[in-house]
Chain A
Amino acid sequence: MSAGISRRKLLAGASVATGAAGLTVAARLARRYGLIPPDSGGIFGAAETLTYASQRILMARHPLAREFDRSQISRATPVNGDPPEDETYQRLQTDDFANWKLSVDGLVARPASFTLAELKRFPPRTQITHLACEEGWSFIAEWTGVPLSYLLNLTGVLPQARYVAFFPFDISWDSLDMSDALHPQTLLAYTMNGQPLTIPHGAPLRLRVTRQLGYKSVKYLSHILVTDTLKSIRNGLGSISPDLGYSWYAGI
């Protein structure tokens, strides 16, 4: 009987020790392979990290999000949020964004700016995908745009780049890791359902990230910054979302 108890204690001790060692190794590996999200602190940080790390491992082969038939396109296309009140944005809007430019800089060999006409001359990609809001509603639409990866290759992303940050004409901002930034379905979209993007849907250019929820698809783009760290940008958490109580990673 006493042998049984000591064996049980030994097993319990061994499993606690194995668990602790396992956690240490897991944390080190996660850091090395970029599996820790920028908002990994706080009471929800551990769960955020588990979600981000496990989904990144699941998507190691970079699968495409599901695409649909034209017949499945939704009639209703609701939106959340208001267009920017920024003066520059209002002025650009008056001549249909003819003077609008998207600047790309940071860790790129050739920083550049692009007009809407220039972006439309690049090889486009058209895809019919699902956009789900974190609130629960969703719609399917056809988007056309330049793959972000095309623009990143054109400007020559440097090898130390780890994130791409997106700045619109308002206080919001967001960022993607390179896995989503270079994903073939990640678009800088300028048309929706065959029409130029409307103001509520993010004119003149919005991001479309197919494997994350709608709030990652930043509207009203103005500036793209390639970086090796998010710590030095604004709140240091990779996005405005953590300030509003939402997570940086929105794959679920």
Chain B
Amino acid sequence: MADPAYVPEIAAAVTGSPRHSLLVRTTHWIHTAAFLGLLVSGIAILLAHPRLYWGEAGGMGGPSLIDLPLPLVLTGQTGWGRSLHFLSAWVCILAGLAYLLSGIVSRHFRDNVFSPGTLYNPIQRVTYVAVVFGLFPLVIATGLAMSPAVTSVFPELVALLQGQQSARTIHFFVAALLFVFLIVHVTMVVRAGFIHRMRSMLTGEPL
């Protein structure tokens, strides 16, 4: 019985080669670890000040955009939080660059993402494009727009995002969307056959 979302038998038959290349599999698991690091450390940083603002500046005693219903108890966790966040961000960006370059060179994006009638249905392709070419660049850009060093070099970046605090707020919501994507992604994998799909992403064997 073919899964309407994805037809693995065709994949193997058409290409006759492993479904996921070694580079895609390696960067997938590097990104998994880095994403979890970013998520945990991002929450630790957020809990030091769970208020969001719009514009250039904002703090206690001033108006906020949203007061997140989170406890203020975890102050003092930003030290390791920030260190883990930037370590994970570097891992994520370096692995992401390798993935993007190989995706272009191997025509993975052209053949599997941007052309109709591939292995993936339109919803999968739109989601993939939105996450890889939309949410990830946006979360990186908004993260960098919070850096006073980076914005001294690229003031346009923070101006475009309506200010440093707006960048922080957008960063939070994009991260939340990426978390939703993670949940949906894992749910789909479980529903489509967890063991087979895990094996395929670990060994590259056709499903």
Chain A residues with a Cβ under 8 A of chain B: 43-44, 46-48, 50-51, 55, 58-59, 63-66, 68, 72, 74-78, 130, 132-140, 210-213, 244-247, 251-252
Which secondary structure dominates where chain B touches chain A? Answer: helix
- In chain B, positions 99-124 with a C-beta closer than 8 Å to chain A are none
Interface centre among A44, A64, A136, A211 (most CB of B within 10 A): A136
Residues of B contacting A59 with CB < 8 Å?
149, 152-153
Smallest Cβ-Cβ distance to A60: which chain B residue:
B153
**Interface contact A76-B61, CB-CB below 8 Å:** yes
Q: A47-B87, A247-B82, A252-B147 are in contact. Are A137 and B152 (CB under 8 A)?
A: no
In this complex, the interface size class of chain B, counting residues with CB under 8 Å from chain A, is 35 or more
Residues of B contacting A246 with CB < 8 Å?
78-79, 82
The answer for the CA separation of A137 and B150 in the assembled complex, in Å, is 18
The answer for the CA separation of A65 and B164 in the assembled complex, in Å, is 13
Known pairs A58-B149, A59-B152. 7 more at Cβ < 8 A? A43-B87, A47-B86, A74-B58, A135-B45, A135-B75, A137-B58, A251-B150
Residues of A contacting B86 with CB < 8 Å?
44, 47-48, 51, 252
**Interface contact A252-B150, CB-CB below 8 Å:** yes
The answer for the CA separation of A66 and B57 in the assembled complex, in Å, is 13
Say whether B90 faces chain A, with CB atoms less than 8 Å apart: yes
A-B contact pairs, 20 of them (CB 8 A): A43-B87, A44-B87, A48-B86, A55-B147, A55-B150, A66-B155, A72-B56, A130-B164, A136-B45, A137-B49, A138-B58, A138-B59, A138-B165, A140-B56, A210-B152, A213-B148, A245-B83, A246-B82, A251-B148, A252-B148
**Interface contact B45-A251, CB-CB below 8 Å:** no
**Interface contact B60-A136, CB-CB below 8 Å:** no
